[in-house]
């Protein structure tokens, strides 16, 4: 089965993530970026499925020049080829616009007939977790999202999804869109061989025009939402810290009483 | 003033706390109407009316909840087409956010998720979110279509404002595609008898520092009537169910009080609890980053501190 996996390049959460002053978009230049950790699970699951069924894995990313690193990492893990959609006009795109571009890229790379599209559960910068559902809607595919367990046998998909009140079993038949959680597997590290092999793997560079899209459909100016204010939250004032000298529990209870929690 | 739709968060007509919150917020923006998908609308109606729903749109075809996400988006899209609302408020949980996502594409409307506040503003509702693990506050507006906003639990203090709550049935023929991913089994979670994590006003969480023994954490939680949370390290070790995980890939909680026990305070954990009003930590290591966030911290062994605190709280409560 041939699989398309969508991955995002995000600012490192260990760094000082900020917004740019000029247009209040996420600052993707000031902080080192990397393949979103949550998308490693999607790559791993795609590789496993392809290995089991003898298909290929194509990794697709939408993002600025630096996003090529995310594609590279997925190729090093074992994906077969990459697609990097990059265009000045994409800067500042919101989720509906991103899903529009991704949907067009998925269609182009599969000649309009995707078999399985796999994504992460959420990006670690935006953390919206909405692009997969939007992609399913746009591609007209059944949606099997937040899979914490997955099996695909002869195109028959069975997944487990954790909801608040229950654990659900979901079934669907490929073609379908699947998003996976960080419960599903242990992503592999690229091996030395994988790193060497990745250098020879093909990566397509596409612009909006290659996808038949137009600058008026995407980007900050054409997003369906706008940010009106960004404020750095004042760091929390550190409160009182005590060392337990045998009465730590009592002091804790006193704090609770003084703050009316009892 | 135009209509504001809210998607009812319920289990068989039993309302979850978010529903009254959404109605309370909706009243700031226009005339609230509830959209009830699934069984139990007659049970829900009383409370929906009490918190301000003028109308209750009902779609109770079992197929709507028997398939993942897509049918709910189709039903909402039909009600949006009929009512042309100023806003659609949806509970910001994993299902709700995905319903919002599909609705946005169907109706060509902008969508904002994880809102912690929504107020009326010039040019439509203004939603407040917190970004980058709570280190930023961002205000945004929808500029196209109906303002679709997914709102987190605990984002408003509920207040009643009785309205008619008139039931109106919605007639939608669900597409075949919406029924392409059936939910073939639902295994209910074991009930703990404690409040639900995202709704609770107090959450007591345990991490790797519990060494797998959550009894002091649970004991302390129970004296406070609190929910119990866990770090991913504790969940990955199999000590506590994933549904109790707090953090980036677990639940995002925003209670009045959060007590972190034996949790170091990694960025991914903070992402799920940093907006709590008051934060307490108990940790053996004075260098643990969780102490940067706390209003009150105890450097000590949770196996000493928690049982003592539990006894003292019980004594004070009488
Ligand atoms: C993609 C991704 C997603 C993630 N999502 C989440 C998430 O949603 N939620 C989450 O929590 N983590 C998440 N993590 C993991 C996160 O990075 C940390 O590994 C995790 O939060 C650590 O859990 P911990 O604090 O319990 O364990 P540790 O970091 O090991 O901390 C244990 C603490 O307990 C203290 N301790 C030990 N014994 C005692 C004692 N007897 N009394 C008092 N204190 C004691 C220690 O001093 C230490 O500070 C994620 C990671 C990744 C990569
Ligand atoms: N710019 C992008 N390029 C490729 N995939 C993306 C992009 N943005 C989001 N995704 C995919 O959609 C998932 C959810 O993202 P989000 O809805 O932004 O939280 C991610 O885990 C990715 O798999």
Give the pLDDT confidence score for residue B307 in this predicted structure: 98
Mean pLDDT of chain A: 94
Q: Which of B98, B132, B304 sits opposite A130 (nearest CB)?
A: B98
pLDDT tens column, B47-95:
999 999 999 999 999 999 999 999 999 999 999 999 999 999 999 998 9
**Which of the four pLDDT bands, split at 50, 70 and 90, describes residue A26?**
confident
Residue B136 predicted with pLDDT over 90: no
φ, ψ for residue B160 (rounded to 5)? Answer: -75, 155
pTM: 0.94
Q: Residue B290 CA: which ligand 1 atom is closest?
A: 49
**Structural domain includes residue A246:** no
**Structural domain includes residue A229:** no
pLDDT tens column, B174-203:
999 999 999 999 998 888 899 999 989 999
Residue A262 and residue A258: Cα distance in Å, rounded? 9
CB contact under 8 A, A143 and B69: yes
From B203, B206, B207, give the residue whose CB has the most ligand 1 atoms within 8 Å, as the site to mutate: B207
Domain layout of chain B by residue ranges = 3-179, 202-317
**Structural domain includes residue A234:** no
Give the pLDDT confidence score for residue B192 in this predicted structure: 85
Residues of B in contact with A165 (CB under 8 A): 11, 188-189
Burial grade of B40 (CB within 10 A; 0-12, 13-18, 19 or more)? middle
Residue A48 predicted with pLDDT over 90: yes
Chain B interface, best mutation among A134, A181, A224, by max B CB count within 10 A: A224
Pairing of strands A176-180, B87-91: unpaired
Residue B34 and residue B25: Cα distance in Å, rounded? 12
Residue A59 and residue B143: Cα distance in Å, rounded? 32
Report the pLDDT averaged over residues B133-155: 92
> DSSP state, B153?
T
Report the pLDDT averaged over residues B260-280: 95
Mean pLDDT of chain B: 95
CB contact under 8 A, B68 and A161: yes
Residue A43 predicted with pLDDT over 80: yes
φ, ψ for residue A170 (rounded to 5)? Answer: -120, 140
Range of the domain at A121: 2-222
Residue A257 and residue B307: Cα distance in Å, rounded? 17
Radius of gyration in angstroms for the set of CA atoms belonging to chain B, rounded to a whole number: 21
Q: Retrieve residue B118's tokens.
A: 């929504």
DSSP per-residue codes, chain A: --EEEE--EEE-TTS---B-TTT--B-SSSS-EEE-HHHHHHHHHHHHHHHHHT--EEEEEESSGGGHHHHHHHHHHT-SEEEEE--GGGTT--HHHHHHHHHHHHHHHTTT--SEEEEESS-TTT----HHHHHHHHHT--EEEEEEEEEEETTEEEEEEE-SSEEEEEEEESSEEEEE-TTS--PPPPPHHHHHHHTTS-EEEE-TGGGT--GGGSSGGG-SEEEEEEEEPPPPPP-EEEE-SS-HHHHHHHHHHHTT--
Interface of A with B in 76-135 (CB under 8 A): 94-96, 99, 121-122, 124-125, 127-134
pLDDT tens column, A86-117:
999 999 899 999 999 999 999 999 999 999 99
φ, ψ for residue B135 (rounded to 5)? Answer: -85, -15
Helix (H, G, I), strand (E, B) or coil at B230: strand
Residue B273 and residue A49: Cα distance in Å, rounded? 35
Angle at A177 between CA A175 and CA A183, to 5 degrees: 130
Residue B195 and residue B255: Cα distance in Å, rounded? 12
Least confident of A20-24, A186-190, B20-24, B276-280: A20-24
pLDDT tens column, A174-224:
999 999 999 999 999 999 999 999 999 999 999 999 999 999 999 998 999
Give the pLDDT confidence score for residue A238 in this predicted structure: 84
In the reported structure, the alpha carbon of residue A130 is separated from the centroid of ligand 2 by a whole-number distance in angstroms of 8
Residues 6 or more apart from A207 whose CB is under 8 A from it?
A: A85, A86, A87
In the reported structure, the alpha carbon of residue B194 is separated from the centroid of ligand 1 by a whole-number distance in angstroms of 23
B3-179, CATH topology level = Rossmann fold (3.40.50)
CB contact under 8 A, A232 and B294: no
Among candidate residues B107, B140, B105, B145, the one with its CA nearest the CA of residue B125: B140
Whose alpha carbon is nearest atom 36 of ligand 1? B209
Chain A interface, best mutation among B235, B280, B297, B301, by max A CB count within 10 A: B297
Q: Is it true that domain B202-317 has CATH number 3.10.20.30?
A: no
**Structural domain includes residue A147:** yes
**Structural domain includes residue A259:** no
Residue A127 predicted with pLDDT over 90: no
CB contact under 8 A, B286 and A243: yes
Q: Do domains B3-179 and B202-317 have the same CATH topology?
A: yes
What ipTM was assigned to the predicted interfaces of this complex?
A: 0.93
Nearest CA-CA distance, residue B266 and chain A, Å: 9
CB contact under 8 A, A129 and B186: no
Interface of B with A in 219-278 (CB under 8 A): 224, 242-243, 248-249, 256-257, 267-268, 271, 274, 278
CA dist A70 → A6, A84, A105, A120, A179 (Å): 10, 9, 16, 13, 18
In the reported structure, the alpha carbon of residue A98 is separated from the centroid of ligand 2 by a whole-number distance in angstroms of 8
Give the count of domains, chain A: 1
Q: Retrieve residue B212's tokens.
A: 């797998």
- The CATH number assigned to the domain holding A119 equals 3.40.50.620
**Structural domain includes residue A129:** yes
From A66, A93, A131, give the residue whose CB has the most ligand 2 atoms within 8 Å, as the site to mutate: A131
φ, ψ for residue A48 (rounded to 5)? Answer: -60, -45
Q: CB contact, 8 Å: A258 with chain B?
A: no
Among candidate residues A42, A159, A161, A188, the one with its CA nearest the CA of residue B242: A161
């Amino acid at each position: 089965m041939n699989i398309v996996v969508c991955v995002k390049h995000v600012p490192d959460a260990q760094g000082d993530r900020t917004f740019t002053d000029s247009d209040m978009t996420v600052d993707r230049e000031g902080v080192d970026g990397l393949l979103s950790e949550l998308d490693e699970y999607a790559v791993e699951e795609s590789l496993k499925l392809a290995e089991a069924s003898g298909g290929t894995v194509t990794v697709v990313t939408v993002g600025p020049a630096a996003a090529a690193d995310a594609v590279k990492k997925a190729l090093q893990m074992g994906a077969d080829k990459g697609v990097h959609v990059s265009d000045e006009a994409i800067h500042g795109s919101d989720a509906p616009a991103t899903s529009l571009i991704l949907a067009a890229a998925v269609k182009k790379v599969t000649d309009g007939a995707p078999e399985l599209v796999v994504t992460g559960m959420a990006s670690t910068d935006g953390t919206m977790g909405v692009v997969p559902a939007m992609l399913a809607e746009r591609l007209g595919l059944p949606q099997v999202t937040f899979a914490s367990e997955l099996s695909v046998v002869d195109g028959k998909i069975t997944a487990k999804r954790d909801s608040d009140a229950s654990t659900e079993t979901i079934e669907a038949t490929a073609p379908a869109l699947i998003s996976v959680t960080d419960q599903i597997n242990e992503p592999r590290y690229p091996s030395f061989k994988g790193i060497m092999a990745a250098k020879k793997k093909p990566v397509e560079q596409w612009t909006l025009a290659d996808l038949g899209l137009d600058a008026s459909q995407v980007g900050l100016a054409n997003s369906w939402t706008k940010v009106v204010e960004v404020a750095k939250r004042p760091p929390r004032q550190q409160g009182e810290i005590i060392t337990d000298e045998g009465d730590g529990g009592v002091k804790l209870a006193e704090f609770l009483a003084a703050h009316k929690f009892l | 003033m135009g209509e504001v739709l809210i998607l009812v968060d319920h289990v068989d007509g039993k309302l979850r706390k978010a529903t009254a919150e959404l109605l309370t917020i909706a009243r700031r923006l226009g005339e609230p109407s509830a959209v009830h998908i699934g069984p139990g609308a007659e049970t829900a109606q009383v409370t929906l009316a009490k918190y301000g729903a003028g109308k209750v749109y009902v779609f109770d075809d079992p197929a709507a909840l028997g398939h993942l996400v897509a049918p709910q988006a189709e039903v909402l899209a039909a009600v949006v087409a009929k009512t042309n609302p100023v806003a659609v408020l949806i509970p910001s949980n994993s299902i709700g956010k995905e319903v919002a996502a599909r609705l946005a594409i169907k109706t060509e409307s902008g969508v904002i998720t994880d809102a912690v506040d929504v107020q009326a503003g010039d040019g439509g509702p203004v939603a407040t979110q917190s970004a980058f693990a709570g280190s930023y506050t961002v205000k945004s507006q929808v500029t196209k279509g109906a303002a679709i906003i997914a709102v987190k639990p605990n984002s408003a203090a509920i207040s009643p404002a009785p309205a008619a709550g008139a039931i109106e049935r919605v007639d939608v023929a669900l597409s075949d595609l919406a029924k392409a991913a059936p939910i073939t089994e639902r295994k209910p979670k074991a009930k703990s008898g404690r409040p639900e994590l995202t709704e609770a006003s107090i959450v007591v969480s345990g991490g790797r520092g519990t060494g797998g023994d959550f009894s002091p954490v649970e004991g302390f939680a129970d004296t406070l009537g609190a929910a119990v949370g866990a770090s991913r390290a504790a969940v990955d070790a199999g000590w506590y169910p994933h549904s109790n995980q707090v953090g980036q890939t677990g639940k995002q909680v925003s209670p009045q009080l959060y007590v972190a026990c034996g949790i170091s305070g990694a960025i991914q954990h903070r992402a799920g609890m940093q907006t709590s009003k008051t934060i307490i930590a108990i940790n053996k290591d004075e260098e643990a980053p969780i102490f940067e966030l706390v209003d009150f911290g105890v450097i000590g062994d949770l196996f000493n501190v928690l049982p003592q605190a539990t006894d003292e709280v019980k004594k004070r409560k009488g």
